[in-house]
Amino acid sequence: MPFVGLVHLAIAAFFGVHAIRSGQPMYWLFILFAFPLLGSIVYFFALYLPAMRYTRGGAKAARAVNALLDPNRELREASTEFDRTPTAYNRSRLAAALLAKGQIDEAIQHLREAASGPYANDPSFLKGLAGAQLQGQRFADAAATLQRLFDAHPDQQRGALALMHAEAVAGAGRADARAVFEAVITADNSTEAHCKYGQFLLAQGDAAGAQRAFEAVLEHERQGHHHSRELNRDWIAEAKAGLKQLGSA
């Protein structure tokens, strides 16, 4: 068999393994191996690429491709729009572009300006500011910003924002970090929350607590369907790495 044919079969085999692991209908195996090149292309765009977009690794890959094609496009366009019309929205967009380029201090300054005056309690601007502060490891500032958001909009204190707050409180070294994390787990009980709680406990030296949190992640994996496992596969991998670290300690 020519070398190119072997390459096509290898690619089809890769997608075949993905189809089995992700619980896809078995007819995909026929399509992949009956039409190795065409079947692989169809599978990639129909199933593999959309699923990858829901993972942190896939999102990073998509950003990497865009950055490779035109690394400064978003920052350039955001700067132009802000110079033309310096609204709070355009300032926020510019801040996001700066943040993506690693210019965290400048991004935080823009977001502080956006979340002021008539928009002082605007949820979207406060979320953006807290996220930038967390990325810049300004944990106490991030916790304060999120508390400001929760005080103005109590309904926002749930899900991803509540977990961000727990991370910020933990990063700031506050004594109530464990209690804040446990409140999130009680209300949320998500795979990501359990994994991050386990990582927090591991850093605190609570091996038994960390093990329970990581094992809860794996229990979610066992009980979940293939889409949820795909969606949370990065957290599942980190929980397994945490358990491995505990086992070797």
Residue spans of the domains in the chain: they are: 3-52
Q: Other C-beta atoms within 10 Å of 110: how many? A: 25
Q: What are the tens digits of pLDDT across the range 168-195?
A: 999 999 999 999 999 999 998 899 999 9
Q: Write the pLDDT tens digit of every residue in 189-219.
A: 899 999 999 999 999 999 999 999 999 999 9
What pTM was estimated for this model as a whole? 0.72
pLDDT at 31: 85
Residues 6+ apart with CB under 8 A from 91: 82, 110, 111, 113, 114
DSSP 8-class letter at 71: T
Give the residue-averaged pLDDT of 110-137: 96
- If you write DSSP's letter for every residue of 95-155 in order, what string do you get? HHHHHHTT-HHHHHHHHHHHTSGGGTT-HHHHHHHHHHHHHTT-HHHHHHHHHHHHHH-GG
CA 20 to chain centre: 25
Burial of residue 239 (CB within 10 Å: 0-12, 13-18, 19+) is buried
Q: Which residue stretches of the chain are H helix?
A: 3-21, 27-34, 36-43, 49-52, 56-69, 73-84, 88-100, 104-114, 123-135, 139-152, 159-171, 177-187, 191-204, 207-223, 226-231, 233-248
At 71, the pLDDT band (50, 70, 90 cuts) reads confident
| Residue at token pair 């996001």 | 96
pLDDT > 70 in the chain, percent: 87
The burial of 176, by beta-carbon neighbours within 10 Å (0-12 exposed, 13-18 middle, 19 or more buried), is given as: exposed
147-164: per-residue pLDDT in tens?
999 999 999 999 999 999
- The alpha carbon of residue 163 and the mean position of all alpha carbons in its chain are separated, in whole angstroms, by 12
Please give the residue that has the higher pLDDT: either 23 or 50: 23
